[in-house]
Structure 1
Amino acid sequence: MSLVLAEEEKQAHHLRSTLRSTGSRLDQEMRRANQAESKAEFAELRVQELTSRVSTAEMGKRYAELDAARANEEIRRHQMRIESLEREVKQLQADIRILERQRNEADESASRARDTARKFQIELSKQQTKEQGIEQGRRYGSKKWFVTGHNEGWDAGYSEGFEDGRDDGFEEGRQYGIREVRESNPGFKQGHKIGRKEGFESGRDQGRHEERERALHAFDEFFASEIDEDDFTVTSFLIMSFANPLPSPGLGSGRRRPKNLPSLPLSAFSPPSTGTSDMFPLPPTPSTLFPGEVIDAHLRSEAPQSAGTDLAGTEVAGVVLLLNNLGMPEGLQSSLLQNVRVLSVAAPFELSSPIPSDYSAHSESSIPQSLYTSYTAAHEEPEARSQAIETLKWAFSNSRLIDIDVQSDVMSNVSKYEVFEDLLMKATADLSRDKKVPTVLSNILPPPHDLSLPIVKLLTHPSYRNYQAHSAALSLVPNLYVKFTPPMWNQAVPGPADPTSEMDQHREWKRKIKMFIGPVLEAFGYERIIFGTSPSFAAPSFPNPADWYALVRESFAELAVEQDAIDAIFSLNAKRIYGPS
């Protein structure tokens, strides 16, 4: 029995062992089945992915075929466009050859026009000289008749034969002779003064008109005798276009020349500031125009070494010295007098400071003295403006001349200009008419400017249009002068031009300077422009006086001004207002 039990127990152990082995193998097979299932799923995913890639590749192939077809079509269109452009280029080359022939013909016609214009210029200069002589004779006759009518009466004056001066001067002298009788009547005195002025101007204008008619008649005769009928069309159209921009009825009616050819303006014989060529209509000759002498009317006392500097062979006859303080530095006057005459000295004062109570001019000095100041953006504030007006009133009452260095950009900014103009008007409002104190503005010719702005854009730029308008408005202020000093352009003044350089800084500066000269010259005339070599007090560096002089002289010369204008700008105007009275 025990053996049976032992055997059964042994079989039971064997069965349990077999069962465990079978369970282990079952677990192993289940794991292999799971792995096989995972591999099958992965393979299925790969198949799907590959199927998608194959589909994408087929679509890409179709798109590539479509792109290739479109590219071929574009190539064919571009080839057709190239052929069309080649035909157009050939046509343009033919047109260019035609235009070159026309340009050559126009150059020849312009050359003939320039030759004729030179003749007109010579004849017109003669007529203007004659007119000036007649005007001077009339003035002399008027003055002489004034004295003669006062002292000797009508009969003695009439025997002298000055018919033109009789109406202008004799009546004025006769009225002067009986003034004592009517001196007690203020209304008559004022009316007489106004009437005499109006009568004098009316007679003078009438005389000028008559002399101009005679000059134009002589010009017409010269015009008819000098011009060929074949060349008249181009030349007459050129001259009449400059003289009168409106259409002339004479051209439309087929007349050979106008009945009364108007006087040609100065701009007709000067190169246009924005033209395409500096040689139209007459080539400028800057090498022939030099001032007889130079007055440096703006020399800062920090740069005495530049006094008397040789300016390209032109003599520096005098300087106007702007001092740093109320007294001339010790030894400076004697050192300057060895080199050049000190025409005048200007002492500084501050617009924002209270009125000096102990100021007095240095009467012991034989050199005329005046005052100068600087106007900055800080003086545009209401409180500072009120103080500046009061101080400027004091300066006008205590000085024979006021220099104002304008360090605010009033020429291109409307609001700044209005503030500055208001300051000038209020400061001079209380001055009597007999007290004529000249005011000289510096650093507005040329004004501050951006050199990167080309001339073509500058013409239509608001800053330049404001500059033109403000120049015209300032010219209406009595006894106002403008100094031509080195500008604040954040660059050193360039030296003489290099003939081999097309973009020389000297030429570029000169073009810009001529743009700014034009409005001031037209508004002020050359009688109120003064030359100086030192820059504004806001500029720390000093230019080479010879370089600045060369720029200014060539600029005016290329604007075709006359010799008397060059002499006035560089010396005579400064002598007149700065020299001893």
Structure 2
Amino acid sequence: MTTVANTHSPLYSPSVGARRKNVKLPKLPLSAFTPPNSGTGDKFPLLPSPSAIHPSAILDAGVSGSVEDWKTQMGASLVAKSRGVILALPSADAELVKAAQEDPSVIAASVPFDLSAGEPDPASVPAFIASPPANFAIALRTTFTAFTPQLADGVHWAISRGLTVDIDVQADLGTEAGWESLNELLSNATSSERPQGSSSKKGAIVLSNVLPAPLDLELPLVKLLTHPQYRNFQNYTSTISLIPNVHLKFAPPKWNAPIPSASTSTTSDNGGESAVPDSGKKEWKRRIKMYLGQGVEAFGWQRIVYASAGAEGSNVGDWYALARESLAELGVEQEAVDGVFGLNAQGVYSV
């Protein structure tokens, strides 16, 4: 059977070499060949370089040791941008709190306070905790190794009174059991079924030693991507981020190695210090961004606070440079950098 082509069909295509006469192509307007009017002339806007993104102000949410040492290590240009520090005191001593309050650089203090026994006897609570001084915030610092109902009671007691609780996580977060235990603590401590305390404002919980999580630097980066330790971090940060008023402290990681310093430093146009990293610093940044990226995705940058406590044996200025570059290289906007390095801590510590 012979098939006859339907030359009137819109699907019909003439054979190669045939010409279609009297066909006029539509004319495109000149605007089709020009970029949109974005105020940048004949070029499209480009994202700012990470090296150019600096926080407008710095509030360090955890400084250990001497404030003067912190200033020396940070450098004059960064200290000039400082909005103050939250000082981690070695003990809950009234004289230490008084001295910190008299230092204009210190706007809040974090004091060690054992919450593992549950709700404390009112007679054992220092006056500066029961009735914090005006214009000076007090946060309680406690350690977590495993879930107990008593610890959940103690944390709940603190946050129901409007106090911020810094929890140093010492549980093994390389295992699911460690994460499950932490999740159980946070869920129980923040349960809406518990009776509330005397404060109308609910306090915050800030987790340390989670972002970045402890790891073995000998583990190759390609193996870390699929390692159970990192998989657990991804899964459980997403889970605990659903618990309200829980924040992550972006602090020096416990990687059993000193924080790498920059090989050279330059000063940017806005006065900030821009470090030229060596190979060791590049490797640290790659690993930090693996954890920081997941932390930002799960919690949002609004619930991450920068701190330098934990950088013993290293220069806190080096940690600041490493932390700032790592966050900026994630492609976040100026608002996020300002929040993580200053504004978020103001809300968390009520300063």
Distance 1:328 1:317 in 2: 24
Larger strand proportion, structure 1 or 2? 2
In 1, are the aligned partners of 2:263 and 2:277 still within 8 Å (CA)? Answer: no
Deviations 1:466-520 (A, max 9, x none): 1111111111010111110001100011101469x99721111111111111111
Q: Residue 403 in 1 paired to residue 166 in 2?
A: yes
Name 2:112's counterpart in structure 1. 348
Name 2:315's counterpart in structure 1. 544
Deviations 1:192-245 (A, max 9, x none): xxxxxxxxxxxxxxxxxxxxxxxxxxxxx9x95458xxxxxxxxxxxxxxxxxx
SS in 2 for 1:373: strand
Stretch of structure 1 that moved more, 551-560 or 317-326? 317-326
1:458 to 198, 218, 224: 224
Distance 1:293 1:503 in 2: 27
Q: Residue 329 in 1 paired to residue 93 in 2?
A: no
Shift of residue 334 of structure 1?
6.6
TM-score by length of 1: 0.46
In 2, are the aligned partners of 1:294 and 1:317 still within 8 Å (CA)? Answer: yes
Q: Residue 561 in 1 paired to residue 322 in 2?
A: no
Sequence identity (%): 39
2:57 to 265, 272, 293: 293
CA RMSD of aligned residues (A): 3.0
Q: Residue 534 in 1 paired to residue 309 in 2?
A: yes
Deviations 1:118-176 (A, max 9, x none): xxxxxxxxxxxxxxxxxxxxxxxxxxxxxxxxxxxxxxxxxxxxxxxxxxxxxxxxxxx
Name 2:350's counterpart in structure 1. 579
Distance 1:504 1:284 in 2: 24
Structure 2 residues not aligned, in runs of 5+: 1-28, 36-44, 266-275
Shift of residue 284 of structure 1?
7.6
Name 1:492's counterpart in structure 2. 258
Change (3 A) 1:283 1:494: farther
Structure 1 residues not aligned, in runs of 5+: 1-220, 228-268, 270-281
Shift of residue 331 of structure 1?
7.4
Shift of residue 306 of structure 1?
3.3
Distance 2:178 2:206 in 1: 18
Q: Residue 469 in 1 paired to residue 235 in 2?
A: yes
Q: Residue 425 in 1 paired to residue 183 in 2?
A: no
In 2, are the aligned partners of 1:481 and 1:528 still within 8 Å (CA)? Answer: yes
Instruction: Give the aligned residue type for 1:365.
Output: P
Distance 1:335 1:343 in 2: 9
Name 1:365's counterpart in structure 2. 133
TM-score by length of 2: 0.74
Change (3 A) 1:322 1:344: same
1:375 to 144, 156, 160: 144
Change (3 A) 1:225 1:455: farther
SS in 1 for 2:188: helix
Change (3 A) 1:371 1:364: closer
Change (3 A) 1:361 1:462: same
Change (3 A) 1:503 1:330: closer
Change (3 A) 1:353 1:556: same
Q: Residue 514 in 1 paired to residue 286 in 2?
A: no
Change (3 A) 1:461 1:545: same
SS in 2 for 1:299: strand
In 2, are the aligned partners of 1:498 and 1:504 still within 8 Å (CA)? Answer: no
Change (3 A) 1:560 1:498: same
Rg larger in 1 or in 2?
A: 1
In 2, are the aligned partners of 1:513 and 1:555 still within 8 Å (CA)? Answer: yes
Deviations 1:424-466 (A, max 9, x none): 1112221559653211111100000111112111111111111
Higher relative contact order (CA 8 A, sep 6+): 2
Distance 2:126 2:161 in 1: 8
Shift of residue 311 of structure 1?
4.7
Shift of residue 530 of structure 1?
0.3
Shift of residue 393 of structure 1?
2.6
